[in-house]
Amino acid sequence: MFWDIELTDEDEDEMIMKIAQKIHDYGLDVAAVLMIESFKPLSYVGSQMGRFFVSPFLPAFGDNIEMQGEKIFQIFEKRENVEKLIKTVEELNQQKEEQEKIRKAKEREEKAKKETGETPEKKGWRRFLP
């Protein structure tokens, strides 16, 4: 269909980041990494099968979807891009865990202040109450 599509490294990285962000948004980090890791040796075969079995149905959803599907097939033909996706998902998961640790540390600090008798700063309309 789109044999003449040339993808640059920036296009590949952008598409991989979008896919990784969607996986992360749905909270499927661990499951996705496990599945992608197990199918990584078959990435080229899977891409070719997708072109054969899925591509005929993509025009029904519009030209943009058809073009995006072809780009995804081209990107994930290469194993190094599959590895990039795995690493990106793991990095996003690690960032989330670090943010969670920071949030829990702040909660523990506030709890310790309450226990020692220090009153935390009141927020919202409660700051006007005695």
What are 73-117's pLDDT values in tens digits?
A: 889 888 899 999 999 999 999 999 999 999 999 988 888 777 776
Please state the separation of Cα 109 from the chain's center in Å. 31
DSSP per-residue string spanning 65-108: HHHHHHHHHHHTTSHHHHHHHHHHHHHHHHHHHHHHHHHHHHHH
| Per-residue pLDDT reduced to its tens digit, 30-62 | 999 999 999 888 889 988 898 889 888 888 888
**On the CB side of 93, how many CA atoms lie within 13 Å of its CA?**
17
Q: How far apart are CA 40 and CA 32, in angstroms?
A: 12
pTM comes to 0.75
